[in-house]
Amino acid sequence: MQNLYPYAQIIHLFCAIIFVGYLFFDVVILRAASKKMPPELAQKAKQAIGSVAVKIMPICVLLLVLTGGMMMSNWVGSKAGGYFETNLQIAFMIKFCLAMVIVAAVIVNLSCKFIFKRPSPLGNIHPIALTLAVAIVLLAKVMFMV
């Protein structure tokens, strides 16, 4: 597993950039731009962007989970001496829990859209997902400083 770590880290980093970048674009830029265009044009733009994103983002989230799990085995677990023994492990587990909230919300939304063919009870998860993603990025840096 140690030999794969650098590759998992690179894939994880690029997927995180894509994921957080898309959330930032959707929550901040597209929302502000939509206010400056006619409502029907704004709706068409959101639908066009969403139709592409729904094909790319699930793969991105899956790769984030898989590569994150691979890297996680180096820092927490029985081989690493536990789950909450060090400050790094505590920060990592908080990061993991926040990521699982995002994953659960994505699963609910995609299930509602593609399996149940009805609107998600969660509504638009992008603002909260962006907030959680920013917290995850900060924890990713902080966990090596504590």
Q: Confidence class of residue 38 from pLDDT cuts 50, 70 and 90?
A: very high
pLDDT exceeds cutoff 80 at 69: yes
Residue 73's pLDDT is 87
57-80: average pLDDT: 92
Range of the domain at 32: 5-142
Contacts of 70 (CB under 8 A, 6+ apart): 1, 4, 5, 8
Residue 99's pLDDT is 97
Q: What is the 3-state secondary structure (H, E, C) of 78-103?
A: CCCCECCCCHHHHHHHHHHHHHHHHH
Helix (H) or strand (E) holding 11: helix 5-24
Q: 22, exposed or middle or buried, with CB in 10 Å at 0-12, 13-18, 19+?
A: buried
Residue 79's pLDDT is 80
Dihedral pair phi/psi, residue 35, rounded to 5°: -70, -15
Structure-block tokens of residue 46: 């959101």
Structure-block tokens of residue 24: 């930032």
Residue 80's pLDDT is 79
pLDDT exceeds cutoff 80 at 82: yes
User: Total structural domains in the chain?
Assistant: 1
Tens of pLDDT, residue by residue over 118-129, are 999 999 999 999
